[in-house]
Structure 1
Amino acid sequence: MKLNVSSEIGRLQGVIVHTPGREVSLVNPELKDELLFDDIVFEEDARREHLDMLDIFRAAMSADGQIFEITDLIRDCFQMDQQEARAFFVEQLIKRYPQGNLHTVKKELLTLPPDELLRFAIEGTTAKRNFILNPTPNLLFTRDLAAVVNNNVLLSRPAKVARIREFLLMEILVRYHPLLAGLQPNILTIAEQETIEGGDVLVASKDLTLIGMSERTSFSGLMTAAEGLLSNGVKTVLAVDIPKQRSSMHLDTIFTFASRDECLVFPPAITEREKNVVRLSNENGAVNAEVMPSLKQALEECMEHSFTFINCGGESRTNQFREQWTDGANVFALAPGVIVGYERNTNTFNALKEHGYEVINQFNFIEEYQDSPFEPGSKKIAIGFEGNELCRGRGGARCMTLPISRES
């Protein structure tokens, strides 16, 4: 598999996900705010909904497409013969959780069997000793951990303490797992005092990347990432200033690509804002900055074709706010014009239908293509899947996916 992502819409070839497990059941009402959840999640239903989503992916991907569970990849890195990876994880864990006094159990952590070390990494518990960390329920949102941009991998740095361990696990995968070996020469990182998360990074084309300056991505983090990308093949970065609030924590919660020339948007934060976009380019070794009138105009100038912005929630203001809250704008493209999202966002799907999309539920799509290969291109399709438990964690289909390979 060629590790390369040069657009948001190229046919999906390889993706890293995490089907929720016991860690979400360890979130109690007293912990949920600290762990960035708005509600507690019922594990069994969340797992079923997530596995149903992956069945859609399998039906839509080509025969050689692959879905990787991040826990399987981490387990590979934690094998007893992978001492360098294990040591890196433990050392970084001690460093980044100084309040946990984990240095006192360093030897025990280094000798834990792979499954026990994995359990400790994700659930925060182990049978060996009575030392406990909080669980990592946000591992469900693998998108935030990194971003593959062309053949570069931009490692995220979290804004919230609750997510430190997940981002450390992603760093281990990038540095030590054979699957990601092709990306190792092009690792882009930012400084410890800066923050950036993958939900703010959208790959419009091989030449153009969008980065949101959000609640989770700092100005300095954005600029460092932009400089790295501009020095490694990307011609233009659009820096998009978005509201710094929980409901729009990342750019992809209010804006995603659906096809070559269509995007789903949350109007109050996208189409109704002006001069909140800066076009960054590399000129003679220096970053040049130009304020743009709007995101739509910036996209059209950079991509040299027109775009249609489709409103999340349709035309009703109330529905726009309601469905943005349940991730109506956070769709994930499996191929150009083939997208998946939570079926509960009915007004968003009606808006897509008005723009020529065939709206279909997960079961009908899987049934139609389980025996005959799916060939994208003949029609636009919007696939709805059940996510009543998953959306309690505040993330949609794009949030739950980390593509590492797409067709050009």
Structure 2
Amino acid sequence: MKINVSSEIGHLNGVIVHTPGHEVSLVNPELKDELLFDDIIFEEDARGEHLDMLKVFKAAMPRDGQVLEIIDLFLDAVQSEDARGFFIEQLIKEFPEENLSVIEKELLGLTPDQLLVFSTQGTLPGSHKFSLHPSPNLLFTRDLAAVIDDTILLSRAATKTRLRESLMMETIVQFHPLFESVRDKAIRISGNQSIEGGDVLVESKDLVLIGMSERTSFTGLLKASEGLLNHGVKTVLAVDIPKQRASMHLDTIFTFASHSECIAFPPAIMEQRDNVVALQKHNGGIVAENRPSLLNALNEFSSNNYEFIKCGGEDRTNQFREQWTDGANVFALAPGVIVGYERNTNTFNTLVDHGYSYMNQFEFIEEYGEKGLDPNQDHRIAVSFQGHELCRGRGGARCMTMPISRAVLK
């Protein structure tokens, strides 16, 4: 599989996910806020909902498309002694407060399977004297990296709660053969900088959006932009968004749906002014210029003429309710074919008003599971899937996916 993503909407060919495991059952109510969860999740139902979502993906993907589990990739990578040593060295370095150096020998003696359990659940075999918090946010693989054209931007989590996940992804890219083509040109964020993949949206290989959110710092945004502009991206649009839990990443309030349409949460996107800065290379440096709005900037720097479809429709209360339940966080399987939580009925009704056909997950699988989705046909389909437990984690379809291969748009 060729690692390449040159748009948010190209026909999906390869994606990294994580179906919830035992780590979500280790989140107790006293820890949930520290672990960035608004509620506790029932593991069995969340797993079932996630696996059903993946069936929708597979129905839309080409026959040779791959849905990859991040824990399988990590397990493959740490079969190598060098990879295990690298991961443990980074853990000790990044978590000095945990005093992991005192158990370094024990960590180095773990089997790959045991190291995976320690990474995701925080427990050591047969030991009750030492443990870390679990990593329930691994469900949201989107935040760990972003493939942009033929390179990869490795995220660095803003909180210690998710930093272990960043180190897992770094280890995968460094040691798994799947990432050999992008390993040496990966863009890395270090130190006190932070950037998370939910803030990175690829309009095209020439134009990338980065949100400056509560999870992506100003310095992280600049470092990532510099790397992208040096790699060949022509323009980075830095989008300043509210620094709050409800809009933790740009993709919680804005996503791409088709060649000319995006889903937007009006108060944070459509009603904002002077919150976008265009970054471009000029004479060896980076030039920054303000733009009046995101719609204005997109239409100026892309080859498309975009329209924003309102998350939640016209009603103000519905806009806020459905943004909270990830109505704006849709995931494109192909141009004009998007998936999102079933509960966001007003968003789906608004999509229908804009010419989309509505299908639930079962109807879509029945229609396309055998014959496949013809990439040459002009589709406009909004697909819903059930996510009553998944939604408790505060992340939608885009949050739960890391595309690594998409067809190039014609």
Q: Calculate the TM-score normalised by the size of structure 2.
A: 0.98
For residues 201 and 329 of structure 2, the distance between their equivalents in structure 1, rounded to whole angstroms, comes to 12
For residues 117 and 231 of structure 1, the distance between their equivalents in structure 2, rounded to whole angstroms, comes to 36
Q: What is residue 13 of structure 2 aligned with on the other side? A: 13
Whether 2:133 is the aligned partner of 1:120: answer no
Please state whether the residue corresponding to 1:95 is helix, strand or coil.
Answer: helix
Whether 2:45 is the aligned partner of 1:48: answer no
Q: What is residue 399 of structure 1 aligned with on the other side? A: 399
Indicate if the aligned counterparts of 2:335 and 2:379 stay in contact, CA closer than 8 A.
no
Unaligned runs of 5+ in 2: none
For residues 78 and 222 of structure 2, the distance between their equivalents in structure 1, rounded to whole angstroms, comes to 34
After the TM superposition, which residues 60-79 of structure 1 pair with which residues of structure 2 at under 5 Å, given as runs?
Answer: 60-79=60-79
Whether 2:188 is the aligned partner of 1:159: answer no
Please state whether the residue corresponding to 2:326 is helix, strand or coil.
Answer: coil
Whether 2:17 is the aligned partner of 1:39: answer no
Letter in 2 for 1:63: R
- Give the C-alpha shift of residue 112 in structure 1: 1.0
After the TM superposition, which residues 105-144 of structure 1 pair with which residues of structure 2 at under 5 Å, given as runs?
Answer: 105-130=103-128, 131-144=130-143
Q: What is residue 338 of structure 2 aligned with on the other side? A: 339
Letter in 1 for 2:105: K
Deviations 1:58-100 (A, max 9, x none): 0000011101000101111122xx1111001111111112122
For residues 355 and 113 of structure 1, the distance between their equivalents in structure 2, rounded to whole angstroms, comes to 53
Q: What is residue 321 of structure 1 aligned with on the other side? A: 320
Which 4+ residue blocks in structure 1 deviate beyond 6 angstroms? none
Q: What is residue 285 of structure 1 aligned with on the other side? A: 284
- Give the C-alpha shift of residue 378 in structure 1: 3.2
- Give the C-alpha shift of residue 305 in structure 1: 2.9
Q: What is residue 275 of structure 1 aligned with on the other side? A: 274
- Give the C-alpha shift of residue 282 in structure 1: 0.6
Deviations 1:307-349 (A, max 9, x none): 1100000000000000000000000000000000001000000
Please state whether the residue corresponding to 2:288 is helix, strand or coil.
Answer: strand
Quote the sequence identity (%). Answer: 66
- Give the C-alpha shift of residue 388 in structure 1: 0.6
For residues 183 and 135 of structure 1, the distance between their equivalents in structure 2, rounded to whole angstroms, comes to 30
Q: What is residue 212 of structure 1 aligned with on the other side? A: 211
- CA RMSD between the two structures: 0.8
Please state whether the residue corresponding to 1:47 is helix, strand or coil.
Answer: helix
Letter in 2 for 1:386: Q
For residues 243 and 207 of structure 1, the distance between their equivalents in structure 2, rounded to whole angstroms, comes to 26
Whether 2:243 is the aligned partner of 1:244: answer yes
Please state whether the residue corresponding to 2:152 is helix, strand or coil.
Answer: strand
Deviations 1:218-264 (A, max 9, x none): 11110111011000010000000000000000000000000000000
Unaligned runs of 5+ in 1: none
After the TM superposition, which residues 252-271 of structure 1 pair with which residues of structure 2 at under 5 Å, given as runs?
Answer: 252-271=251-270
After the TM superposition, which residues 215-230 of structure 1 pair with which residues of structure 2 at under 5 Å, given as runs?
Answer: 215-230=214-229
Please state whether the residue corresponding to 1:268 is helix, strand or coil.
Answer: coil
Letter in 2 for 1:67: V
For residues 379 and 34 of structure 1, the distance between their equivalents in structure 2, rounded to whole angstroms, comes to 42
For residues 271 and 223 of structure 2, the distance between their equivalents in structure 1, rounded to whole angstroms, comes to 28
Q: What is residue 349 of structure 1 aligned with on the other side? A: 348
- Give the C-alpha shift of residue 152 in structure 1: 1.1
Please state whether the residue corresponding to 1:116 is helix, strand or coil.
Answer: helix
- Give the C-alpha shift of residue 39 in structure 1: 0.2
For residues 78 and 10 of structure 1, the distance between their equivalents in structure 2, rounded to whole angstroms, comes to 32
Q: What is residue 375 of structure 1 aligned with on the other side? A: 374
